[in-house]
Amino acid sequence: MEQLTLTTPALLFSAISLIMLAYTNRFLAYAAVVRNLHDKYKKDKNRVFMQQIENLRKRLYLTRSMQIFGISSLLLCVLTMFLIYIEQHVIAIWIFGLALILLIISLGLLIREIQISVTALEHHLSDLEQKEGE
């Protein structure tokens, strides 16, 4: 079995950092959309707005979970490096494995969030197509 070195978990730092940046950008975009929908709903209590708000709520919670799992993965990578430093290699291997699992979960949630986003956009497109056909 190959030895786990300090550079192995360190390799994930840039990847996780970029993923977290993308997650944060998604979150900020959703926040702007929620504020916009909130203002529109206050003016016109349309049921469509409530459906959009509910869809955004799901996506926000998924994004929050994606961020939590991603940050936890990064934290465990740092812990892995510390455990390697103090020569606790067996524990380090297990902790690094857990970090990888958390990263996998985070990416899996991203896939689910993208599916929900695409479905929401498809509803908008079909609505436009129906209005065009009228």
Structure-block tokens of residue 41: 């709903």
Give CA–CA dist 99/15, Å, rounded.
13
Mean pLDDT of the chain: 86
Distance CA 49, CA 72 (A): 34
Mean per-residue pLDDT, 87-114: 95
Is the Cβ–Cβ distance between 27 and 63 less than 8 Å?
yes
In single-letter form, the type of residue at position 19 comes to I
The string of pLDDT tens digits covering residues 64-93 is 999 999 999 999 999 999 999 999 999 999
Instruction: Count CA within 13 A, CB hemisphere, residue 38.
Output: 8
Per-residue pLDDT, 133 = 62
What token pair was written down for 4? 């786990």
Consecutive H or E run containing 59: helix 47-85
pLDDT one-digit tens code per residue, 5-38: 888 888 888 888 889 899 989 888 888 888 888 7
Task: Provide the whole-model pTM.
Answer: 0.80
